[in-house]
Amino acid sequence: MPKVYVVGNDRAIVRMFMGQGWTPVDEADWSTDLIQFTGGEDVDPSYYGEKRHPSTRSNPVRDAWESTIYHENLGTTPMAGICRGAQFLNVMNGGRLWQNVTNHAIAGKHEAFCNVFEKPLMVTSTHHQMMIPAGRGKVLMAAQVAGVKSTAEEDFQGNLSPDIEAVFYPETQSLCYQPHPEYVTINDECQETYFQYINKFLM
């Protein structure tokens, strides 16, 4: 069975991987197949060179700890991120974040489109920030939901660009997945697509 190190030991994500046949481990080593970053506080804007939006709430200790894990394992172990974890990996790969978006922090689902398998699907949506990928990132999934996207200095009305839901960075083997597949059942298309991405791009 493949081995996963879930950073922070998020119980819901650990259970999800176990349900998919993975073995959780307590730390990453040479035999670890995947490092999984999890949801939580916003990534501090200093990591992508911007000022702080009034709605941004970050945890500098967590940012520093996860940055260390990222750099220590870069080039040796594939990494994936869910929600904040996706945003974190996007930033580590040179991307930025919309620091506040509307219509996504809904504790429900919305429709997105998977570019990889060319299909629409319903994904969870419980976040107020979204990824702005770096140029080398491959967009895997996007939506058209947000009415307003904000930086620290300006609001943009309407769909300025697609709402990026999933990105893959081939050079660093980093998979960024904005939805929460751990919130749904094993047969739900949101979780199913996440593991399809892992198998296709990271395994």
Compute the half-sphere exposure of residue 202: CA atoms within 13 Å on the CB side of its CA: 28
**Is this model's pTM higher than 0.85 or not?**
yes
Question: In 3-state terms, what secondary structure has residue 131?
Answer: strand
**Residue ranges covered by each domain of the chain:** 3-202
pLDDT digit string, tens, across residues 27-57: 999 999 999 999 999 999 999 999 999 999 9
Q: Which single residue is written with the structure tokens 């919130």? A: 183
Give the torsion sign (CA, 189, 105, 146, 108): positive
Backbone conformation region of residue 99, classed left if phi is above 0, alpha if psi is from -120 to 50, else beta: alpha
Place of tokens 């660009």: 161
Contacts of 203 (CB under 8 A, 6+ apart): 2, 33, 78
In the CATH scheme, what architecture does the domain 3-202 have?
3-Layer(aba) Sandwich (3.40)
* 3-class secondary-structure state, position 114: strand
User: Could you read off the pLDDT of 157-194 as tens digits, one per residue?
Assistant: 766 779 999 999 999 999 999 999 999 999 999 999 99
- Dump pLDDT digits (tens) for 50-90: 999 999 999 999 999 999 999 999 999 999 999 999 999 99
Q: Is 165 helix (H, G, I), strand (E, B) or coil?
A: strand
